[in-house]
Structure 1
Amino acid sequence: MTPHHVLQRRTFVAAALGSAMLGSAWGSRYPDKPIKLVLPVSPGSAIDATARRLGPVLEGPLGQALVVENKPGSAGLIATAQLVRSAADGYTLAIVASTHCITPHLYKASFHPVQDVQPVVALTSGPLILVVHASLPARDVQQFVSYARSLPEKQSVAMGNPGNGTPLHIASALMALKGGFKALHVAYKGIGAYSTDLAGGQVMAGFLPWVAAAPLIKAGQVRALGVSTLKRLSAMPEVPTLAESGLPGFEVDGWLALIAPKGTPTAIVQRLNAEFNNALRAPEFERFVADSGGAVIGGTVTDCESLFQRDFTEYGRLIAQAGIKAD
């Protein structure tokens, strides 16, 4: 090896060690002030409730408060754009939903949802329930598929959703594609009006989160046929997943995840990942999530990065195939 190459190697090793020491030192003194947690929703929403439940659990281990800042609007694009523009120092974070990987396929975004953020940890899973109006003869997924296939195209089964591009709309579109039937997708302005019309039979089927579906199921207004995730719901274990009901590979999950600005030091990202993983396993938080019909996810930074890449790619393909457009 020439003296020049020896010098280059020594310089590289010194730089790598210096960088590692700097990152370690940065991570060890982080955080030394409150952390802002930007949310793409208004107070009172599921994301807001999750953030405010996690905050007190994390304040002790982190030694600093998590300060929630609600930034609703533009289907979450405003909040995420603020996060992307923030300093990559670990003091501005955001919680996003799976719509983070859907919305940029439908609306013009100033950022790339995978390349311009640093996924930190997947927080919770949000299974969706396929329900049909009680007047429908279908008692299971295959009976519903057969019923939907039997209808003339001009009388396609009406499947509601709370808005174009929502996970509930995506689930219905995937259901129609995998089931091989035509559906009339009826978009509402929010979950309230949609749930009311589903209960009243103005639309005959659709997906609902557990908290919205449970009272309608209990009242006998709708019937639960399947779960959108790969695991059954602990609150109603007798209802099978769609994947085990003749639609292999069916998976739509309304997950929540923590993100940081791209370029946030690895030591800080790993510290946040570790602390949030611990907080997710706090008994009171696990109970809160279970009562909401969800499940805790957790996992590594790499797990979360893979989730973002997979869903962005798969949802983009589905949106194109189903011809889903923005409102």
Structure 2
Amino acid sequence: MNQSHSFQRREFVMAAFGSTVLGAAWGSTYPDRPVKIVVPVQPGSAVDATARRLAPVLEDSLGQPLVIDNRPGSAGLIATTQLVRSPADGYTLAMVASTHCITPHLYKASFHPVNDVQPIVALTSGPLVFVVHTAVPAKDVRQFVAYARSRPESQSVTMGNSGNGTPIHIAGALMSLKAGFNPLHVAYKGLGAYSTDLAGGQIEAGFLPLVAAAPLIKGGQVRALGVSTLKRLAALPEVPTLAESGFSGFDVDSWVALIAPKGTPLTIVERLNDAFNKALRTPEIQRFIAEGGGDVIGGSAKACENLFQREFAEYGRLIADAGIKAE
């Protein structure tokens, strides 16, 4: 080896060693100031509620305040775009939902949902409940499908959703495609207004997360006809799954995960992953998630990345099969 190559090799090794030491030192002092979590929805939504419930538990673990920054709009694009443009120092994170792997199939996004972010941990998953307003003459899914098919095109049954590109939108479009009826899909800007109109009868049917559906079911405003995942809900044991109701293989859920900007040091990724996994194991957080009909996921950053890869590919197929377009 000549002297020039020997010198270059020493320079490379020293630089790599210095980078490793810097990353380790950075991670050992992290965090030393408040950490911001960007949330892609309005206050009061399920994702926002998850972030706010986790925050005080994580503050005890991380030793710094967690600041929730709500950035709703464009089916999550606004929040995630802000995240990917932020410094990769662990002080700006984002809590994303299933829309993270859906929206880029429907809208022009400036980022790739797997390659351009650093997954930290998958947090929770939960089913959706298919409900109808009590004025709809259907006691089960088959009766609803017959009712929807019987309507003339000028009076199509109305199905709402909380926004284009949401799992609620995908579930509704997939159901109508498989059942062979053409509803009028009404997109709202958020879960609140959509739930209100569903309860009031302005919308006849649609999917809701359990936490939003439960009070409406209990209050007699809507009737639960089906569950969007392959397993029945403990909170609604008498309500069959869509798969049981003639929609073989129907399985759409809504999950929540934590991401950081691409390039975030591994020591910080591991620190955050450990803190969030510990928070997910606390009785208060497990009780909160169970009350909303959800399941704890947890696990490694790599497992979260694998989830993103699977979901991005699967939603791409669903959207293509259902012919779903951005509206």
Equivalent position amino acid for 2:53 in 1? R
Mapped to 1, the partners of 2:190 and 2:59 lie a distance apart of 33
Is the contact made by 1:99 and 1:167 (CA closer than 8 Å) also made in structure 2?
Answer: yes
* Corresponding residue for residue 164 of structure 2: 164
Give SS of 1:51's match: helix
* Corresponding residue for residue 112 of structure 2: 112
How big is the shift at 1:37? 1.4
Give SS of 1:255's match: strand
Give SS of 2:99's match: helix
* Corresponding residue for residue 321 of structure 1: 321
Task: Determine whether 1:59 maps to 2:59.
Answer: yes
How big is the shift at 1:170? 0.7
* Corresponding residue for residue 277 of structure 1: 277
Is the contact made by 2:41 and 2:190 (CA closer than 8 Å) also made in structure 1?
Answer: no
Is the contact made by 2:93 and 2:261 (CA closer than 8 Å) also made in structure 1?
Answer: yes
- Structure 2: give runs of 5+ residues left out of the alignment: none
Q: 1:265-312: per-residue Cα shift (whole Å, max 9, x none)?
A: 222212211110110121112222223333322122122112212222
Equivalent position amino acid for 1:272 in 2? L
* Corresponding residue for residue 268 of structure 1: 268
Q: 1:61-110: per-residue Cα shift (whole Å, max 9, x none)?
A: 22222222222333322221121011212121111111111222222222
Compared with structure 1, are the counterparts of its residues 147 and 9 closer, same or farther at alpha carbon in structure 2 (3 Å cutoff)? farther
Is the contact made by 2:45 and 2:191 (CA closer than 8 Å) also made in structure 1?
Answer: no
Compared with structure 1, are the counterparts of its residues 69 and 196 closer, same or farther at alpha carbon in structure 2 (3 Å cutoff)? closer
Is the contact made by 1:164 and 1:324 (CA closer than 8 Å) also made in structure 2?
Answer: no
Is the contact made by 2:40 and 2:78 (CA closer than 8 Å) also made in structure 1?
Answer: yes
- Structure 1: give runs of 5+ residues left out of the alignment: none
Give SS of 1:126's match: strand
Which moved further from structure 2: 298-307 or 240-249? 240-249
Aligned residues: 327
Give SS of 2:253's match: coil
* Corresponding residue for residue 36 of structure 1: 36
* Corresponding residue for residue 88 of structure 1: 88
Mapped to 2, the partners of 1:323 and 1:138 lie a distance apart of 27
* Corresponding residue for residue 121 of structure 1: 121
Task: Determine whether 1:131 maps to 2:131.
Answer: yes
Compared with structure 1, are the counterparts of its residues 15 and 192 closer, same or farther at alpha carbon in structure 2 (3 Å cutoff)? closer
Equivalent position amino acid for 1:126 in 2? G
Which moved further from structure 2: 85-94 or 135-144? 135-144
- Please give the residue correspondences for 1:150-161 in structure 2 after superposition, counting only pairs within 5 Å: 156-161=156-161
How big is the shift at 1:260? 0.5
Compared with structure 1, are the counterparts of its residues 157 and 69 closer, same or farther at alpha carbon in structure 2 (3 Å cutoff)? closer
Is the contact made by 2:42 and 2:190 (CA closer than 8 Å) also made in structure 1?
Answer: no
Structure-2-length-normalised TM-score = 0.85
Equivalent position amino acid for 2:162 in 1? P
Mapped to 2, the partners of 1:15 and 1:232 lie a distance apart of 55
Which moved further from structure 2: 304-313 or 229-238? 229-238
Structure-1-length-normalised TM-score = 0.85
Give SS of 2:206's match: strand
Give SS of 1:28's match: helix
Is the contact made by 1:47 and 1:256 (CA closer than 8 Å) also made in structure 2?
Answer: yes
* Corresponding residue for residue 75 of structure 2: 75
Compared with structure 1, are the counterparts of its residues 215 and 201 closer, same or farther at alpha carbon in structure 2 (3 Å cutoff)? same
Mapped to 1, the partners of 2:266 and 2:11 lie a distance apart of 22
Q: 1:169-213: per-residue Cα shift (whole Å, max 9, x none)?
A: 111111123334433323344434433443454443211122322
